[in-house]
Structure 1
């Protein structure tokens, strides 16, 4: 009955959603309360973005993966049974979305590489210059160029250099402060594997960074307010468009 009363009456004030259980919040969203959905996104944006970026190593791809994951979660929310925390359920969705995008990237890269190699074999000298320019033109985004803190940049660069499997575990354990069990649930790997990968990831980082950098790990890949607003706005726009089309 408590869930029903919440879904039939709009909650006054976004902060009030913080008092709800995961299942109650899900019921509000299922009742098409977009304020509840916005609250959900703002709560978990940073974790989901960091998770996606740890897999994709691209800020733009990570943002798009988070948006698509939210859309999928919105459509599948009726299947949420609170057997796991809502945060864990969402993280699994974004992990799957990120790996799907990564596989597509790898296929596109392989096809593009084969195509360009063929072009190099058959091209005239002028055409070859254009082909090579595609690989030498800087692609750094303004956001990447604007990194102000050298220490933070150094940490992020070294996290990116971690092996793929280690990096995802490290981001969830060190940056998001998830427990071994939560990380295991999110990534679908045994707890013993989480412990081993996290231990080895820390050792690799310590080999590259001085010990005094340890206290700055939690600041890496900070989730700027502008990015948070952009993701929330884009997802809500897509949800409203879908509702109008029905």
Structure 2
């Protein structure tokens, strides 16, 4: 389906690009917000990414999925945005998380309404390092596999796995820290 619209745009039908915006804007926003941690900045990143994708569409090679190529643009644009703003991530204290605490967090998450869950996840993503939030977003929310995450982020397979592990650990740390009074 993407190939059809790519050909349409390349043949001069600029309105055909709206297909890509409708199809990919929500996931692109999710990827962007997981990196930049700010709604307005994430919207700007997505808009800039679509502009870049449109202007670079002729260079798209059909040996990869359009979504992978586009999410790579989103990631690069978001990382450039962070560099420009020189954001600093909150450093989390070192402490161990027990299996019982992980189970308690999982049980509590299961009880949350979908909207509350989205707000909770967004809040946690704001407090963990951008690369970890990105990999968690792509893996758990956008259903990308490790190979696709490698292609999107240009991280090595080992790095993706490490970021997933660290991201999970830091996600639990922040979650426990935020919800300790409510859950325990």
TM range, normalised to the smaller chain?
Answer: 0.7 to 0.9
Return the index of the structure with the highest Cα Rg: 1
* 1:174 aligned onto 2:140: yes
* Separation in structure 1 between the aligned mates of residue 164 and residue 157 of structure 2, nearest angstrom: 11
1:197 to 143, 163, 169: 163
Task: Quote how far apart the aligned CAs of 1:196 are.
Answer: 2.0
* Separation in structure 2 between the aligned mates of residue 187 and residue 207 of structure 1, nearest angstrom: 25
User: Matched residue of 1:41: which SS?
Assistant: helix
* Deviating more after overlay: 159-168 vs 80-89: 159-168
Contact 1:23 1:81 in 2 (8 A): no
* 1:81 aligned onto 2:61: yes
Pairs aligned (count): 151
Task: Quote how far apart the aligned CAs of 1:149 are.
Answer: 4.8
Alignment of 1:1-246 (within 5 A): 20=1, 22-106=2-86, 149-209=115-175
User: Matched residue of 2:86: which SS?
Assistant: helix
**Uncovered stretches (5+) of structure 1, i.e. residues with no partner:** 1-19, 110-147, 211-246
Contact 2:37 2:125 in 1 (8 A): no
TM-score, with length taken from structure 1: 0.56
Task: Quote how far apart the aligned CAs of 1:58 are.
Answer: 0.9
* Separation in structure 2 between the aligned mates of residue 160 and residue 208 of structure 1, nearest angstrom: 10
* Separation in structure 2 between the aligned mates of residue 42 and residue 203 of structure 1, nearest angstrom: 34
User: Matched residue of 1:82: which SS?
Assistant: coil
* Separation in structure 2 between the aligned mates of residue 149 and residue 85 of structure 1, nearest angstrom: 30
TM-score, with length taken from structure 2: 0.74
Pairwise CA RMSD: 2.2
Q: 1:38 to 1:202 in 2, by over 3 A?
A: same
Contact 1:47 1:176 in 2 (8 A): yes
**Uncovered stretches (5+) of structure 2, i.e. residues with no partner:** 89-113, 177-184
* Separation in structure 2 between the aligned mates of residue 200 and residue 157 of structure 1, nearest angstrom: 17
